Structure 1
Amino acid sequence: MAAKPKRNTVVTRIEKAKIVKAKGSPKGGSSTAGKSSSSAKKSSSLNKQIMEDSVDDAVGDKVTDKAKILEMNKLSGAAAEKLAAEDLVSQGNIILGSQVSVRTSAGIRRIAHLIMDPAGNLKAVEVKAGNARRNASQLRKDFLLETEGGVIIGKNAPRDLVGQFRKIPTIEMRY
């Protein structure tokens, strides 16, 4: 019997056909036994379509749902970053760059907003929407960025800071 595709994978027509074929004839027997050949072909074709629809419903919706969730998360994250930028500016901060990369000893950390606060201190702002949480890698890089420092790199970094090694604390804003 063919293995079911993993939950988060895209199912191709070939994989669907394998699933349909595996489900279409249980125990190797034919579901069209005792029928005329034209009736059997119609029945087989109808059964195949029903099975394909079942596979689409069982597997395709999960893939679509996952894609919808990812798209919704992306949109809510972008909206939260926009709100955060407005709040930061209204508090007297200067946004030096958005989606700025910093190389730490644990790898590159992308910062949602790199700001200068009213006191002139450089800070990294991490924006989270809904129930999103910083993952272990983000927490580790944020800790290292504050304690060891990192090199500001990338096209979104302010030109006068590119290549500079700085210790930058991270603040989190939730929306």
Structure 2
Amino acid sequence: MTTTFSGTRAIRGSRRRRPYRHAVPFLAQLAIWAGGAGVLALWWIDTTSVVGPAGWLTGAGRITGLLAGYACAVLLALMARVPLLDHTVGTDRLARWHAWGGRCTVSLALAHTLLIIWGYSLTSHANVVGQTATLVLHYPDLLKGTAGFLLFLATGVLSARAARRRLSYETWHHQHFATY
């Protein structure tokens, strides 16, 4: 049986299908989750023991920090215009994954910051404000890390729909680009 498509004759079912096009989004997500599991496995292998509330909080802070760092790399890869991903997954879907991943990354970075400060304050028997000042002012590179975290947090806040509607695209784009 023949059918007509746009004025040309074609045999039904003769169009070449690409079965891998449907598998790539699934495989991409599987690779992302497997990478996250790999990050957790590396932490697990390197951690000897976790003792007490301070150890649990600090360990959770380290895990969230490692996952946040991995998620930053994933966010960059999602928007890197990799031809295989662009053509099979689609730029619009990659942008949605990037937006969702951005929310997760900001949440992980915030959790990392709060859990590490809380865990270190329990370890040193100091209050949270004093421990924050000690960490930021006296630990190497933490002042720069704090500035980067605040820029990252500002980008997350400005990327929320309510804030984004009020900004020009150029302002949002430059703020977003400054984070990278």
What TM-score, normalized by structure 1, do the two folds share?
0.32
Which is strand-richer, 1 or 2?
1
Whichever structure has more helix as a proportion of its residues is 2
Q: TM-score, normalised by structure 2?
A: 0.31
Between structure 1 and structure 2, the one with the greater Rg is 1
Higher relative contact order (CA 8 A, sep 6+): 2
